[in-house]
Amino acid sequence: MFLALRDLRRSKVRFGLLIVAVGLLIFLTLFLQTLFASLVNSFTGGLRNQSGTVVVFGADARKNLSGSVITPAQQAAINDVPSVQSYGPLGVGAFTVTPAGANPKPVDAFLFGYELTKPGAPTTLTRGRLPQTANEAVVTANVPGFGLGQTVQIVPSSDAVDPLPITIVGEATDLRYSVQTTLFVSYNTFIAARRTANPAAAQQPVFPAAIVVTPNPGISPEQLARTITQTVTGTDALSRAAAAAAQPGVASVNQSFGLLILLTVIVVVMVMAFFFLILTVQKQNAFTLLRAAGASKGYLRRAILIEVVVVLAGGLLCGFVLLALGVLVINQIFPATVNPNAALGYGIFLCVLGFLGALFALARIRKFRPENAANAPALGGLA
Amino acid sequence: MSLALKELRRRPGRFLIATAVLTFIVLLITMLGGLLDGLFLGSTGALRAQDAELVVYSADSRDQLLRSQIDPKTRAIVAAVPGVATTSGIGVALVGVRVPDQSTLADGAVFGYEGNVRGVPAPPPAGEAYVDRRLEANGVRLGQTLQLGRSAEPVVVKGWVEDTSYLLQGGIWVAPEVWRRVLVGNRPDLALAPGTFQALTIQTAPGAKPASVAAAIGQATNNTTSTLTVHDAIYSSPGIKQQASTFNGIIYTTILVAVLIVGLFFALITIERTALYGVFKAIGASSRQIVFGLFAQATVTAVVAFTIGAGIAYGFAALVPPSFPLIVETTRTIQTLFLIEVAALIGAAISIRRVIKIDPASAIGGGA
C-alpha cells in the first residue's frame, strides 16, 4: 500500500493522464451504449409499449409501419383466424403538430390511432389516463408543449381546413416512435388527422398501418403470428418484440453500435495492459532490488494491484462524470437517458476487462528474481 | 532524428503495443466516419443530385419531402417570382419493390420528377424507370420488370443512375404519373391532387442571388411555402443534423483519447531514457534534436497504425452487406490520417518539457 501510494503521489502527471485516458474510454463506451439503448427505445418505443402482443403488417411493407397497409378484406380474414382473442386497427403516421404555449413552433410528431376498447393502447402510462373519446391523447412524457391538460393542434396543409385540436389526457414513458414525440389517439381521431393533413385525399379510404392482436390464453404471440402469416394472404405477422426489432434503423443501429462498442472495449483492455506492462518493465531494476532486499512477489503484485484499482476507480469516476455531461449535451439534439443500472454494470464490466489487461504486468513480476540484482550493472552488480 | 528512426527499425517491438492501440483507434475513427458517411450519403443522394439552387416545400411540412405539397396554383406563383428561371416538380414514395427471381422485397424510393436531376436523364416514358445502382445488390438487372409497392406498378429498368438514394432506399426515377399511381396504390390517404408535387426545385436566373429569390418566394406565397438552398434541404432531411453532431462528437472524443495515449507512451519512453538522453546532451545533442526524434517516432507510429487500421476498415467495408450503412470515403480517410498525425504529435509534445529539463550531468549520475 505504502509503495503504491508513494508511486502514485510521485508520478501524478503520468497516472493523471492514464486516469483521464481510461476515463475517456469508459465514457466513450458508456456513451455509445447509452446512445444505442436510447436510439433503439426511441425508434420503437411506441410499438413496443402498446398492448397488442401480435402485430400484423402488410406483406409489401417490409415490416415497416410507415409503409404498411392492411385492407378491410385482410382485417376480416384476421378475425376468422382461430386463437385471436381480440384485434384492432393501428393507424400510424407522421404529422406536423403545433405544441401548446405562447408562440409555439410546429414540431414533427407521430400519431398512433387505435380503437379505444381494443388492443393498441399504451402500456406505460405514468400520469393521467387513457383517451376515452375523440381528440384526446396519451403522449410521450416530459415533452415541452405536450403537458397534461394542454391542447396541441395537427397542422393542416391548406387554409381551407381548420387545425385539429387534441387534448393531452395522459403521459407515458418510452413512447417515442422514429425518435419523434408520439401521441396515442382514438382511431377516428387518427383518420381526422389524416384528413386535416391531406384534404386532397378526403375521398380516399384511410387504411390502418397494422392490426394489433391479443391471442387467446395459452397461445403464444409467436404461434399466433405464424398462423396469421400462413392463413391471411398478403400479411406478415410478428410478435410485438420481433416487430419492434424489425423496424427501420434498428438492425443497422444494432450492428454498427455493436461493432463500435466492441472496438472501444478492445482499446480499453489494450491501454490498461500496455500502460502497466511498460510501467512494470521500467521498474524492473527497482523491483529486482526490492526483491533482493526481501520484498516478496506478493508485496510487489499488491503494489501494482493497488495502482490498477486506483486508475480504474478514477477512470470509472471520470467516465461517469463525463457521461452525465455528455448526456446533458446530447439531450439538446436527441432524447437520451442513462439507465443507471446498465451503466454501472457496463462500467464494472469494463473495469474487470481493464483489470484482466493489467494481469500481464502482474505476471511479469515473476521474472524479477532477487539474484539478478547481483548481475545488474545499474544496481551496482557485475554484468 | 535518424537515430530515432533507426531505433524504430531495429527495435519495432518496443513500439508494438502503442502502434496496436493506435491501430484500433484509427479503426474506430474510420468506422465512425464510415458509418456517418454511409448514413449521410445513403439518406441524401437524391437531394444532392438536384441540379438546382433552391427547393420549395409547403410551410406546414417542416421541410420534409414526404409531408410536403405544392399545388399547381402555388407553383404558378413561384414560377412568376423574379429570379426564378425554371421550376421542376418532384415527389417520392417509399415502397417495397418486387424483383424478378428474388424472394425478398427491395427497399425503393420511387421518385416522380420533371427533370433537373444531375446524372438522371429526362423522365422516361410511363412504364420505364432509371434505377439506382444500390439496388443491383438486391438482384435488380437492366431490362427487368420491377413491381413497385402494394399496387405492383410495373416498370422496366431502362438504365442505371448513381448515388440517388433517399433515406437509405435505392432511388427509382419514373415519370410523375407513375409516381402518383404508386403513391395512391401504396397509401391511398397520401394521394395528392392532380398536378400537385411534394416539392419544387428551382434553378435561379443568371445573376440572381438564391437567398434573395428564396425570400421573394416566401413573400409571394404569403409564407405558405418554405424555400431552402439545396444544401439546407439536405441537412433538413430526417435525422441528418443529429447524426452528424453525435458522430462527430464521438470522433473528436476518440481523437482526444489518441492524444492521451500517444502522450502517455512518449512520456514513459522519455522517463525510461532520461539517462540516455543525458548522454546525448553530454556529447552535444540539443533538446531540439531529441524532441524531433520523438516527433519522428510519433509520426511513423501513427502512419503505420493508420495504414493498418484504415486497411482493415476498407476491407471490412468491402465485405459488409449493402444494408450495412458503411462507406469509407477517401476524403474522410485523409482527414483521419491528418487527425491521427496531429494527435500523435500533440501526444509526443507532452514530453518536450521533460526532455528540455534533462541535465547532461545525469549521464554520469549527477543530475535529473
What is the C-alpha separation between B295 and B262, in angstroms, rounded? Answer: 11
Q: Which secondary-structure segment (H or E) carries B268?
A: helix B240-272
Cα diameter, chain A: 100
The predicted complex's ipTM stands at 0.78
- A114-128: average pLDDT: 97
- A268-272: average pLDDT: 81
Chain B residue closest in CA terms to A66: B94
- Verify whether the Cβ–Cβ distance A270 to B17 is below 8 Å: yes
What is the C-alpha separation between A213 and A86, in angstroms, rounded? Answer: 6
pLDDT exceeds 70 at position A374:
no
Chain A residue closest in CA terms to B316: A259
Mean pLDDT lowest for which of A214-228, A254-268, A283-297, B72-86? A283-297
Q: Given 3-state DSSP classes, what are the helix, strand and coil percentages for chain A, each rounded to the nearest 5?
A: 55, 20, 30
Chain B residue closest in CA terms to A330: B246
What is the C-alpha separation between A67 and A56, in angstroms, rounded? Answer: 13
Cell 501524478 sits at which residue?
A: A12
pLDDT exceeds 70 at position A378:
no
- Verify whether the Cβ–Cβ distance B268 to A278 is below 8 Å: yes
Say yes or no: B72 contacts chain A, CB-CB below 8 A.
no
Which of B24, B105, B224 faces A266 most closely, judged by CB atoms? B24
List the end-to-end C-alpha distance of chain A, in Å, as a whole number: 32
- A-chain CB neighbours of B64 within 8 Å are 94, 108
Q: What is the DSSP pairing of strand A164-172 with strand A125-128? A: antiparallel
Q: What is chain A's mean pLDDT, rounded?
A: 88
Q: In this prediction, what percent of chain B has a pLDDT beyond 70?
A: 98
Between residues A381 and B40, which one has the greater pLDDT?
Answer: B40
Q: Which secondary-structure segment (H or E) carries B303?
A: helix B287-319
Highest-scoring range by mean pLDDT, A262-266, B229-233, B326-330:
B229-233
Half-sphere exposure of B278 (CA within 13 A, CB side): 16
What is the C-alpha separation between B43 and B38, in angstroms, rounded? Answer: 8
Q: How confident is the model at residue B366 (pLDDT cuts 50, 70, 90)?
A: low
Which of A155, A264, A334 faces B28 most closely, judged by CB atoms? A264
- Give tens-digit pLDDT for A313-338: 999 999 999 999 988 888 877 778 88
- Closest CA of chain A from B207, distance in Å: 33
- B56-77: average pLDDT: 94
What is the C-alpha separation between B129 and B145, in angstroms, rounded? Answer: 9
Mean pLDDT lowest for which of A126-135, A305-314, B208-217? A305-314
- A-chain CB neighbours of B17 within 8 Å are 270, 273-274, 277-278
- Closest CA of chain A from B28, distance in Å: 6
Amino acid identity for residue A309 in this structure: V
Highest-scoring range by mean pLDDT, A148-152, A247-251, B189-193:
A148-152
- Verify whether the Cβ–Cβ distance A69 to B150 is below 8 Å: yes
- Verify whether the Cβ–Cβ distance A108 to B149 is below 8 Å: no
- B288-296: average pLDDT: 89
- Closest CA of chain A from B253, distance in Å: 7
- A-chain CB neighbours of B37 within 8 Å are none
Task: Choose among A211, A226, A208: nearest CA to A83.
Answer: A226
Looking at chain A, which runs of residues are DSSP E strands? 54-58, 84-98, 107-114, 125-128, 136-140, 151-154, 164-172, 181-186, 210-215, 235-239
Between residues A200 and A137, which one has the greater pLDDT?
Answer: A137
pLDDT exceeds 70 at position A217:
yes
Amino acid identity for residue B115 in this structure: G
- A69-77: average pLDDT: 94
So what's the pLDDT on residue B368? Answer: 43
Looking at B127-220, which runs of residues are DSSP E strands? 128-132, 145-148, 153-161, 170-174, 199-204
- Verify whether the Cβ–Cβ distance B324 to A255 is below 8 Å: yes
Which of A32, A67, A201 faces B191 most closely, judged by CB atoms? A201
- B-chain CB neighbours of A334 within 8 Å are 242, 246
Q: How confident is the model at residue A5 (pLDDT cuts 50, 70, 90)?
A: confident
- B137-143: average pLDDT: 95
| DSSP string covering A274-340 | HHHHHHHHHTHHHHHHHHHTT--HHHHHHHHHHHHHHHHHHHHHHHHHHHHHHHHHHTTTS-----H
So what's the pLDDT on residue A21? Answer: 82
Which of A156, A251, A256 faces B35 most closely, judged by CB atoms? A256
So what's the pLDDT on residue B363? Answer: 64
- A43-49: average pLDDT: 93
pLDDT exceeds 90 at position A302:
no
- Verify whether the Cβ–Cβ distance A194 to B189 is below 8 Å: yes
Task: Choose among A366, A264, A269, A266: nearest CA to A308.
Answer: A269
- B332-359: average pLDDT: 87
- A190-203: average pLDDT: 92
Q: What is chain B's mean pLDDT, rounded?
A: 90
Which of A62, A157, A179 faces B60 most closely, judged by CB atoms? A157
Using DSSP, state whether A121 is helix, strand or coil. coil
Say yes or no: B271 contacts chain A, CB-CB below 8 A.
yes
Q: How confident is the model at residue B128 (pLDDT cuts 50, 70, 90)?
A: very high
Q: How confident is the model at residue A114 (pLDDT cuts 50, 70, 90)?
A: very high
What is the C-alpha separation between A336 and A222, in angstroms, rounded? Answer: 31
Chain A residue closest in CA terms to B68: A157
User: What cell does A124 get?
Assistant: 406505460
Cα diameter, chain B: 93
- Give tens-digit pLDDT for B201-256: 999 999 999 999 999 999 999 999 999 999 999 998 877 877 788 788 888 888 88
So what's the pLDDT on residue B210? Answer: 96
pLDDT exceeds 50 at position B109:
yes
What is the C-alpha separation between A65 and A250, in angstroms, rounded? Answer: 13
So what's the pLDDT on residue B96? Answer: 92
Q: Which of A31, A33, A60, A272 to mutate to test the interface with B (most CBs of B within 10 A)?
A: A60
- Closest CA of chain B from A257, distance in Å: 9
Which of B24, B62, B264 faces A21 most closely, judged by CB atoms? B264
So what's the pLDDT on residue B367? Answer: 47
Instruction: Note which residues in 125-144 of chain B have CB less than 8 A from chain A.
Output: none
pLDDT exceeds 60 at position A167:
yes
- Closest CA of chain A from B206, distance in Å: 33
Between residues A283 and A50, which one has the greater pLDDT?
Answer: A50
Which of A17, A264, A273 faces B264 most closely, judged by CB atoms? A17
- Verify whether the Cβ–Cβ distance A21 to B61 is below 8 Å: no
pLDDT exceeds 80 at position A380:
no
User: What cell does A102 get?
Assistant: 405562447
What is the C-alpha separation between B177 and B185, in angstroms, rounded? Answer: 12
Instruction: Note which residues in 180-239 of chain B have CB less than 8 A from chain A.
Output: 184, 186-193, 196, 224, 238-239
- Verify whether the Cβ–Cβ distance B325 to A252 is below 8 Å: yes
Q: How confident is the model at residue A379 (pLDDT cuts 50, 70, 90)?
A: low
